[in-house]
Amino acid sequence: MITGEIKSKVDRIWDTLWSGGISNPLTIIEQLTYLLFLKRLDELHTLKENKANRLKKPIEDPIFTPQQDKLRWSRFKESSPEEMFTTVRDHAFPFIKTLGQSANGEGGSTYSQHMKDATFMMPTPRVLANIVDQLDAIEMADSDTKGDLYEYMLGKIASAGQNGQFRSPRHIIQLMVDMTAPTPKDKICDPACGTAGFLVASSEYLHTHHSETIYKDAAARRRFNEGTFHGYDFDSTMLRIGSMNMLLHGVENPDIRYKDSLAESDEDDTEKYSLILANPPFAGSLDYESTAKDLQRMVKTKKTELLFMALFLRILQTGGRAAVIVPDGVLFGSSNAHQQIRQMLVEEQKLDAVISMPSGVFKPYAGVSTAILFFTKTNSGGTDHVWFYDMQADGFSLDDKRTPQPDKSDLPDILKRWQNRDKEKSRARTDQSFLVPKADIVANNYDLSLNRYKEVVHETVEHDSPKKILTRLAKLEDEIAQGRKELEGLLK
């Protein structure tokens, strides 16, 4: 967990850039990401150096050549502000823009493609030197601290984007990844990837649980680096931050590309992925003309959240699974399109679970109520029972401050019960989690809202009889009258 001291340091860095003339929060994050990336590259090169020195061998796959030594963070941070500014702007920044390109400057990684349009926007040498000094003072040896630091930076964007984008809380992402348990054989996709939070968490899960498999030989490494992770977005800044985020977490060439997922019909993506993890934007409505025709054939609607559900079903392989965040309206909306999507999930696919989340989970961005849907694409039905969980606490306060409350979290219980959900059949509808038979869902017009099935037990409150209450009132009136007489006596 990021400490208050580190938060204060990040706040000071933010204020430095703000007073230097950079007021757009995304631009600030982008510029800080470039510097954090340079710092991380130097750390990785130092690890390679130390290993080579121990083995008394040349450095294997060095990041910096001897001629590029001055581009290392540990070198330029010691120089004067003017010299540092020239080095970073004219040499180090162009270096990270071309990282991963082939020798002739063509092709290369998705990272280098997104970095082509990147712009170095540090206003003055003094501001850059100040930022470098402050970043250098933050201890980031722990990978969790790096993640928390980056999360805190992203969290400083205090409002939703114009397209209805919300940054997915890191602990909710982790829950969804743990529940879907990615394997090295999966092709993982987020069609609205933003800063690639779901893809990063999936890569870390594979590192933790399947490191022997993903690194066993060259073919396995290539598959992990190039064939496992796929993300789309139509925001070039998000693509740059997302691809850099993946590279910082050890995925060298993920398939992260520019694409408006709802506007472009891509046959190459049909039934391509085995796992979808996503929090698509809830932007309201789109024009029919700007929406892929094959999605309109699946569900006639302008609602982006419903079109994304149709997209997920189209690009999932048969047998593929999905965990996606949806606004509550998807669960109970009464339009034909809402009912059609829910019926499709229950009758044609296998709906596994509905986790209802409290409305404060996305604060300070929005107070919208959301849920997580888990389903498996079968194209032949298979829904038997649907598991419902009423998440009441996520480990943080549900106000705008989102203060950590680690002793108040349902997340460990959710994961434990999900992994043993066959035992949930004995749970009553009054419990926090329970199974609902498909027949009940069909009878309720495919309504998936938790309140439709959860039973609330009202405590019986016994009241005294009117006669007893009147007797008590009479006694109180006598006591008041007696007190008034005593007070009058004292005044005489």
Low-confidence winner among 89-98, 222-231, 315-324, 336-345 (lowest mean pLDDT): 89-98
**Whether the predicted model's global pTM rises above the 0.85 cut:** no
d(CA 341, CA 332): 11
Q: Where are the domains of the chain?
A: 4-148, 165-452
Domains 4-148 and 165-452 share a fold: no
Kindly state the helix (H) or strand (E) to which residue 395 belongs, with its residue range.
Answer: strand 394-396
464: amino acid identity, one letter: D
- What is residue 398's predicted lDDT score, i.e. its pLDDT? 87
**Distant-in-sequence contacts of 204-212, Cβ < 8 A, 24+ apart:** 204/249, 205/177, 205/178, 205/181, 206/182, 207/250, 209/181, 210/183, 210/184
- Please, are residues 128 and 14 in contact by the beta-carbon 8 Å criterion? no
Nearest to 214 by CA among 251, 179, 173, 175: 251
d(CA 331, CA 336): 13
Nearest to 241 by CA among 256, 225, 261: 256
Fold of 165-452: Rossmann fold (3.40.50)
The tokens describing 469, both together, are: 């209450």
- Please, are residues 346 and 442 in contact by the beta-carbon 8 Å criterion? yes
> Is the model's pLDDT at 132 over the cut of 90?
yes
CATH 1.20.1260.30 assigned to 4-148:
yes
The tokens describing 140, both together, are: 């980031």
- Please, are residues 384 and 422 in contact by the beta-carbon 8 Å criterion? no
> Is the model's pLDDT at 238 over the cut of 90?
no
pLDDT in tens, 14-68: 899 988 888 888 888 888 888 888 888 888 899 889 989 998 899 888 889 999 9
Nearest to 339 by CA among 452, 441, 191: 441
Residues in the chain: 492
